């Protein structure tokens, strides 16, 4: 496990722009700490001269104490504000780095971690970790400086008694280090358990209809109860580890305190120590108890805060970003070649694709058909490099996909699928996604998608919000927004992934008319379960068990009486 210093060092790059704020916070904390020994220092002349009636100026007492506490209060405010400002700027930089990496991370990340895990890491863990660290570091800096200031004053008063007090600190450091390691392990385990709990809630929020339809409420309740109980047990263990620090350090402090008082009383009888100096020493020593206690308490939130923020740095460090080549062109011709392509998701599973050889000419419309699990979606996901082949190679215009500049490669593809993703923004922003909004082009795209009349009838036209994932639109309207998006992008290659399978007949007609316009002049790869929608494709490729079973026109494959003919007969018979 990395040391505390190493863990702080890993976060340091995100706080470089916060160095001024951190410096101000340190300086203000130093001023505040310097005022601490002044309290017992003022008590000594007050007791030795003031109460002895030696002409001590009374006006000096309120002036000194009010000034002292005013300086201390102002220094505390400046330190807290400066540190909070620096920390919030730091977490902003960390969040930006995390999100920048997230949107460029290898696609495999999204199969390993759920949306709730990633959201929890970027939003909640970062904020919670920062809040804990801000308050804890302020205590750490202020009370560490206070301890130093008080110890210097105590050494000046009585070095022998101070050395006895100093024995306390190695023992406290050992307790904090031992329990701090355990707290870190429990914090990491607690984060994983929190992710599990959030994932159960996320699934049930998204699938509430299915849960209720199948009467699975009690089953899902049991899942949540199990996850919540595991989190409860880990939280209790963390509480025990954190709560143990304080009584242990207080016990050590009490042992040292009683020894010091005994020795001080003995010294007062042997060397004539004054009441003022004795009270000043005891007061300064008692003032040590509060910062020692705070420092023993601060290890738990620092450990939790660091563990929370480390989730973000681990995302950046351990998940590689996507990589590409240098080849790029403004607009590809659209020639696609699969050469002996194989794809395996898991080593112990049958391959999703195996030795696929397929050539799609520029401007050709090719339909992929086959039973469920034949490999149709896997095949098209390879094109924009959402997946990487396990063997073989893919080429676009004769250039391997790995040699293409990645953003340049993806500019060559437009996608319209059954699962349309819309952002909670305006229709115009959703159509022009990833590009600047040209209102004339947006309207042209909506017109081509047979949606402009509907949009013009809305109160705010193309500036109307679509709602969460387009919930202000019907299924057919959402599909046509996706088609408008593809028209706006004007990519040379079009992927249609079951784009009309979930629509009613009327909506399908409108969407199909828009798709016919969209496919004109583009290389198009169509995945369709409704075979009636692909009868006019230039070529039909039938897949089975991850292999190309047959290829030809609709009429040729029907005449051949193979896999496509069987699928066609089954569908139209039903």
pLDDT value of residue 337: 94
pLDDT at 48: 61
Over residues 216-235, mean pLDDT: 83
Half-sphere exposure of residue 383, counting CA atoms within 13 Å on the CB side? 28
Boundary residue ending a domain (318, 345, 377) = 318
| More confidently predicted of 476 and 530 | 476
Residue 94, in any domain of the structure: yes
Mean of the per-residue pLDDT values of the chain = 80
Residue 363 and residue 314 share a domain = no
The reply to whether 356 and 232 lie within a common domain is: no
* pLDDT per residue as tens digits for the range 239-265: 777 777 667 766 776 776 677 677 766
Domain identity same for 305 and 347: no
- pLDDT per position as a tens digit, 376-397: 888 999 999 988 899 999 999 9
The residue-averaged pLDDT of 51-61 equals: 58
Name the strand (E) or helix (H) holding 552. strand 547-552
Q: Is residue 330 part of a domain?
A: no
291 plus 355 within the same structural domain? no
Asked if residue 531 belongs to a domain, the reply is: yes
CB neighbours of residue 342 within 10 Å: 16
pLDDT at site 33: 80
Is the domain of 82 the same as that of 148? yes
Q: Is residue 324 part of a domain?
A: no
In a domain, 327, yes or no: no
Same domain, 406 and 446: yes
Q: What is the mean pLDDT of residues 358-385?
A: 90
CATH number at residue 393: 3.40.50.300
pLDDT at position 400: 94
**Residue 52 pLDDT exceeds 80:** no
160/165 Cα distance (integer angstroms)? 9
Give the mean pLDDT of 111-116.
Answer: 75
CA distances from 231 to 118, 184, 237 (A): 18, 15, 10
What proportion of the chain, given as a percentage, has pLDDT over 90? 16
Residue 287 sits in the same domain as residue 243: yes
Tens digit of pLDDT for each residue in 137-164? 777 777 778 778 877 877 777 667 667 6
Q: Is residue 328 part of a domain?
A: no
Report the alpha-carbon distance of residue 465 to residue 469 in Å, rounded: 10
What per-residue confidence (pLDDT) applies to 505?
66
Return the SS3 of 213.
helix
Q: Are 428 and 439 in contact (CB under 8 A)?
A: yes
C-alpha span between 194 and 215 (Å, rounded): 26
Residue among 484, 475, 494, 474 at smallest CA distance from 451: 484
pLDDT for 438: 92
Residue range 411-428: average pLDDT? 87
CA angle 402, 405, 408 (to 5 degrees): 125
Same domain, 286 and 400: no
- Per-residue model confidence as pLDDT tens digits over 331-359: 999 999 999 999 988 777 788 899 999 99
**Are residues 218 and 101 part of one domain?**
yes
For 424, the domain range is 336-573
The pLDDT assigned to 417 comes to 83
Distance, in Å, from the CA atom of 420 to the CA atom of 471, rounded to the nearest integer, reads 11
Q: What is the number of domains present in the chain?
A: 2
Domain membership flag for residue 96? yes
Please name which of 413, 309, 419 lies closest in space to residue 360, comparing C-alpha atoms: 413
Cβ of 17: how many Cβ atoms within 10 Å?
13
CATH code for the domain of 125: 1.20.1560.10
Residue 325 in any domain: the answer is: no
Number of CB atoms found within 10 A of residue 49's CB: 14
Domain boundary among 318, 350, 383: 318
Task: Please list the alpha-helical segments (H only) found in 386-504.
Answer: 406-410, 427-431, 439-448, 452-456, 475-489
Q: Are 42 and 159 in the same domain?
A: yes
Coil, strand, or helix at residue 39? helix
Q: Are residues 180 and 250 in the same domain?
A: yes
Shared-domain flag, residues 383 and 291: no
In the listed set 267, 292, 318, which residue is the last one of a domain according to the structure?
318
């Amino acid at each position: 496990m990395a040391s505390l210093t190493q863990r702080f060092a890993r976060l340091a790059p995100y706080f470089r722009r916060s160095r001024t704020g951190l410096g101000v916070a340190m300086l203000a904390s130093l001023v505040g700490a310097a005022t601490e020994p002044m309290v017992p220092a003022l008590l000594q002349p007050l007791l030795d001269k003031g109460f002895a009636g030696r002409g001590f100026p009374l006006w000096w007492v309120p002036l000194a104490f009010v000034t002292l506490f005013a300086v201390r209060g102002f220094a505390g405010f400046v330190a807290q504000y400066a540190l909070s400002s620096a920390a919030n700027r730091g977490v902003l930089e960390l969040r930006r780095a995390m999100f920048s990496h997230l949107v460029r991370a290898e696609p495999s990340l999204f199969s390993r971690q759920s949306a709730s895990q990633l959201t929890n890491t970027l939003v909640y863990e970062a904020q919670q970790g920062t809040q804990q660290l801000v308050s804890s570091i302020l205590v750490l800096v202020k009370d560490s400086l206070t301890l130093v200031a008080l110890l210097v004053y105590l050494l000046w008063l009585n070095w022998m008694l101070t050395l006895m007090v100093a024995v306390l600190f190695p023992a406290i450091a050992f307790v904090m280090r031992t329990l701090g390691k355990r707290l870190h392990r429990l914090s990491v385990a607690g984060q994983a358990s929190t992710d599990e709990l959030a994932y159960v809630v996320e699934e049930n929020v998204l699938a509430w209809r299915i849960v209720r339809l199948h009467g699975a409420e009690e089953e899902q309740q049991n899942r949540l109860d199990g996850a919540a109980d595991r989190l409860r047990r880990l939280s209790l263990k963390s509480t025990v580890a954190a709560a143990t620090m304080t009584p242990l350090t207080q016990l050590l402090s009490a042992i040292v305190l009683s020894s010091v008082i005994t020795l001080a009383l003995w010294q007062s009888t042997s060397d004539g120590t004054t009441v003022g100096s004795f009270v000043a020493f005891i007061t300064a020593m008692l003032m040590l108890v509060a910062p020692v206690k705070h420092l023993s308490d601060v290890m738990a939130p620092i450990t939790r805060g660091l563990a929370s923020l480390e989730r973000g740095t681990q995302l950046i460090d351990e998940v590689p970003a996507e990589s590409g080549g240098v080849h790029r062109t403004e607009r590809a011709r659209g020639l696609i070649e699969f050469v002996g392509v194989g794809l395996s998701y898991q080593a112990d599973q049958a391959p999703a694709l195996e030795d696929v050889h397929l050539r799609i000419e520029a401007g050709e419309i090719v339909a992929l058909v086959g039973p469920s699990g034949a490999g149709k979606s896997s095949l098209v996901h390879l094109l924009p490099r959402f997946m990487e082949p396990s063997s073989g190679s893919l080429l676009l215009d004769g250039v391997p996909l790995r040699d293409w500049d990645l953003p340049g490669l993806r500019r060559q593809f437009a996608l319209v699928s059954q699962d349309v993703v819309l952002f909670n923004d305006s229709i115009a922003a959703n159509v022009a996604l990833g590009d600047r909004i040209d209102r004339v082009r947006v309207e042209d795209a909506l017109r081509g998608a047979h949606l402009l009349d509907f949009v013009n009838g809305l109160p705010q036209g193309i500036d109307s919000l679509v709602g969460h994932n387009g919930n202000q639109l019907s299924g057919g309207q959402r599909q046509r927004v996706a088609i408008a998006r593809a028209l706006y992008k004007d990519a040379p290659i079009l992927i249609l992934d079951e784009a009309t399978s979930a629509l009613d007949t009327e909506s399908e007609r409108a969407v199909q008319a828009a798709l016919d316009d969209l496919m004109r002049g583009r290389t198009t790869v169509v995945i369709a379960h409704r075979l009636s929608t692909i009868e006019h494709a230039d070529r039909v490729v039938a897949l089975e068990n991850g292999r190309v079973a047959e290829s030809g026109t609709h009429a040729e494959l029907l005449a051949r009486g193979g896999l496509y003919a069987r699928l066609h007969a089954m569908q139209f018979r039903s």
